[in-house]
A and B are shown apart, each in its own frame.
Chain A
Amino acid sequence: MAKKEQASCSSTANLQPTLSQPHPSAASAAPASPQARFRYLATMVVYAVLILNKAGGLIYQRDFNPGLQKLSSNDYLILAGTFHGVHAITSQISPTNDSASSGLEVLESENFVMRCFQTLTGTKFLVFAEPRQPNLDVVVRRVYELYADYVMKNPFYQIEMPIRSEGFDRHLTSYIKPHQ
C-alpha cells in the first residue's frame, strides 16, 4: 500500500490546477440539489479502477492518470490478493456483536482515498481517487453498472477471467475521463 500511496503522491503535483478550483462546500457531506451533485461529479478525479473476482484474483486494472507510478503486473496481483485477505479479515472481526459486517469499505490517506464495493456475488470494485472526493459510492455503483452491462452480457466473456472487453473500456473511459 505504501507504494501506492507514493504513486498518488507524485501525481498530486500535476493535479494541483484542478484542486485549486473553488470547491463549493467541499467539506459538507451530502449535496443538496441534483445540480450540486453534478458539480461534484464534474470535478471528479479518479486515479484508478480495479476489479477483483470472488477468489481475490485481479481481473481488471486501469489507471486514469498519466502521472501515476506504474506497478509491475505481479505487484498488482499481490495488491489484489492482499486486499482480498484484509477484506476477509475485516468482515470477520468487528468490535460490535453484529456478525454481518460488510468489511473494509473506505481507506483514506493523505494522498488518496480508496472506496471498495463488494457485490452480493463477491466481486469487488476498488476505486482510487483524490482525497476528500465526495460521492465515490456513486462512481463505484456506476462502474458496477457498466460491468453488469458490458462484461456480463458479453457472450465472449468467461466468468472469473480477466476482462478484455472493448465496450467496457470505452464506456468506462467516457464515464470517468470527461469529469477530470
Chain B
Amino acid sequence: MNRDPSPFRTASTASTATSPTPKYANLTASTNLRYSLTRKSIYDRHLNRTKTSELSKSAFAFLFGEMVQYAQKKVYGVQDLEKKLNLHGYAVGQRFLELLLWRDGRTAKRETRILGILQFISHQLYRAIFQKQADTLEKVRENDDEYMISDNDPVVNTYISVPKEMSQLNCGAFIAGIIEAVLDGHCFPAKVTAHTAPNEMWPGRTVFLIKFEPEVLEREALRVGS
C-alpha cells in the first residue's frame, strides 16, 4: 500500500500556487482538517503511539454529550436511544478489539471459554480503555446464560444526570455496545445491556448484563464434556 502522503502535499500547495495541478485540485477542500502541518495522517503513525497516551476527560465528556444529544433527535423513546448508543459503542468495540489483540503481538490469545472472555473484558479491555479494572464480575444465580460486570463509576456517566422522566436510561449503553462487539468478535454472540444499580457509596453504579445466545452455552457444555 502506498502510504506516501505526497499527493496531498501537491494538493495543498495547489490551493495557494498560481498554477494548480489539475489532477488533485479537487482534494484541496478536505485536506486542512485531516492532515496536520507535517502532512502525516493518523494512518502514518505507529499504532502503539497512543497506547499510553491520555485523553482529556472534559473533551470526551463534551463529545459524548453531543453524541447523546444527536442520538436523541432521531429516536422515539428510551429503548431506542439506548439501542442507538449501543450501536455507536459496537463500532468502537469492533475496532478496539482488533487493536488490542494486535498490540498483544505474539502473546495474544484467542479466548474460547466463557470465563476467559469475561475476564479478558473486565481486566484487559477495561484497563486499556479506562485505565482501571471493572469492579465486579458475577454470574446471575437464576440464569445459566447471564453474567454481570459492574462498574462503580462509569467514565461516560460522570457528568450525566438523567432526568426523572427518562429514569430507565443509562448512557452506559455505549460501553455495553463495546462489550457486545468484543464478545461477538470472539464468537460469543450475546446481548449486553446497561442498568443503573446504585448503592450508598456509588450513586452512579452501573451493571452490564450479558446474556449469551443458547449456542454459546451448547458449545461450552461440549467443551466441558471433553
CB neighbors of A among B57-91 (8 A): 58, 61-62, 64-66, 68-69, 72
Number of A-B residue pairs, CB cutoff 8 Å, is 38
Are B166 and A150 within 8 A (Cβ)? no
Are B65 and A153 within 8 A (Cβ)? yes
Return chain B residues, CB-CB under 8 Å to A166: 161-162
Are B166 and A167 within 8 A (Cβ)? no
Report the count of interface residues on A (CB-CB < 8 A): 13
Return chain A residues, CB-CB under 8 Å to B69: 155
**Nearest opposing residue in chain A for B204, CB measure:** A167
Measured CB to CB, the closest approach of chain A to B208, in angstroms, equals 21
Return chain B residues, CB-CB under 8 Å to A92: none
Question: Is B163's CB within 8 Å of the partner chain A?
Answer: yes
**Nearest opposing residue in chain A for B69, CB measure:** A155
Question: Is B43's CB within 8 Å of the partner chain A?
Answer: no
Whole-angstrom distance between the alpha carbons of A149 and B68 in the complex?
Answer: 16
**Chain A residues in contact with chain B, CB under 8 A?**
149-150, 153-157, 164-168, 170
**A-B contacts besides A150-B161, A155-B64, 5 pairs, CB < 8 Å:** A153-B65, A154-B161, A156-B162, A156-B163, A166-B161
**Chain B residues in contact with chain A, CB under 8 A?**
58, 61-62, 64-66, 68-69, 72, 159-164, 166, 203
Shortest Cβ-Cβ A-B pairs, 4 listed: A153-B159, A155-B65, A155-B68, A165-B161
